[in-house]
Amino acid sequence: MSVTVLEHPLSPYAQKVKLALHFKGVEYVVEQPMVGTDIEAFAAASPRGEVPVLRHGDNVIYDSAVIGAYINETWPEPPLLPDSPIERANIRLIEDAMDTHFEGNTWGLGEVLIFGRASGEQAEQMSAYAAEQIQGWYSWLQNRLSSLWFNGASYGWADMCVVPFVNGAARFDILPPADSPLAAWLDRVNAREDVQAVTAAAQAAELDPDMMRAAIEGGFKREYRDHRLEWMIRAGGIEVVAAGLAADNIRFNGSFA
C-alpha cells in the first residue's frame, strides 16, 4: 500500500510525520495541498484544512499525534517510544507542549515578519515577546533533557517532536543558549541524515514575504486556532485579529459535518 504525506515542508507537524516514516524505513511520497485557498476540497481529507494528512492505501488520517501513533502501530519496528509508561507519558507531555505552546511563538513570528500582520514598533514588540517566550521554553526543554535524547536512551519520537519546532525558531535566529546541553542536543539531532533531509526540504520551501503579503491581500486565509489565536492576543495583536476578520484573511473552523 502506498504512503503519501499531504504536507507543506515548513510545517513542523508534517516534519514530525516524515521523520517517523524515515525512522521506520517506510517509503513515502509528498503532496502539497493549497492549504487555506481550497478549503472545500481539502476538507474531505482534513476537516480543519490542516496539514499533515497521511494516506496509506484507503486509510486517510490527519493530526500529527494521531498519525505518529498510527505509524508506530502499523510498522512496530523500530519502536518510536520507550517501554515505560512514565517515560511515554513524559514524551506525550513534551509533544503537547511543542504542538500547542511553543509553536504559537514561531507561528506568530511568521504572521508578523513574513505575512506582515504588524509593522513598526508593534512588530518589534511582538517579535521580542516571541523571542522571550521561546527562551522560556528552551529552559523548560532543557530541564527535560536528562540523557542524550529527549526520548531516553536513544533517538525517538520525543526528539522528532522537538527538532522541527526548534529549527523553526532557529530560522528566526532564536537559538538555545550557546554551549548548553540543549544546543549540544540540537547539533546532535541535526547531524542525523533523516533530520537533514527533512530540514533541507523546509529550507528549500522558505516563504517569500512579498509573495505572502500579496497572497493574504488577495484573500489567502490563515487559520487562527486555539494556541495561535491566544498567542496573537497575548503578544499584543488583538487588532491583528480584528483586521484579519474585517479583511476576511483569517479563518476559524466550523463543524466537521
Ligand X SMILES: N[C@@H](CCC(=O)N[C@@H](CS)C(=O)NCC(=O)O)C(=O)O
CB under 8 Å to 211, separation ≥6 — which residues?
none
Q: How far is CA 3 from CA 6, 14, 57, 221, 256, in A?
A: 10, 14, 7, 28, 25
SS3 assignment for 2-27 = CEEEECCCCCHHHHHHHHHHHHHCCC
- Using CB under 6 A as the binding rule, the residues of this chain from 174 to 193 that contact ligand X are none
Residue 13 or 231 having the CB closest to ligand X: 13
Mutual angle of helices 157-170 and 120-143, in 10-degree steps: 150
Strands 3-6 and 53-56 come out as antiparallel
Residue 26 or 205 having the CB closest to ligand X: 205
For residue 47, cis peptide bond before it (omega within 30 degrees of 0): no
Which range binds ligand X by CB under 6 A, 50-58, 72-80, 138-146, 157-165?
50-58
Q: Report, in Å, the least distance between residue 241 CB and ligand X.
A: 14
Instruction: Using CB under 6 A, pick the residue from 99, 108, 138, 216 that binds ligand X.
Output: 99
- Pattern 214-243, binding to ligand X, x per CB under 6 A? --------xx--------------------
Q: How far apart, in whole angstroms, are the C-alpha atoms of residue 98 and residue 141? A: 10
Site membership for ligand X, residue 159 (CB under 6 A): no
Site membership for ligand X, residue 163 (CB under 6 A): no
Site membership for ligand X, residue 164 (CB under 6 A): no
Residue 54 pairs in a beta bridge with 5, 61
Site membership for ligand X, residue 50 (CB under 6 A): yes
Which set of grid coordinates corresponds to residue 140? 523548560
Whose grid coordinates read 511553543?
102
Q: How crowded is the C-beta side of 46, counted as CA atoms within 13 Å?
A: 23
Which range binds ligand X by CB under 6 A, 48-56, 137-145, 188-196, 233-241?
48-56
Site membership for ligand X, residue 52 (CB under 6 A): yes
Residue 99 or 155 having the CB closest to ligand X: 99
Q: Report, in Å, the least distance between residue 208 CB and ligand X.
A: 17
- Pattern 28-47, binding to ligand X, x per CB under 6 A? -------xx-----------
Sites of contact with ligand X (CB under 6 A): 11, 13, 35-36, 49-52, 63-65, 99, 222-223
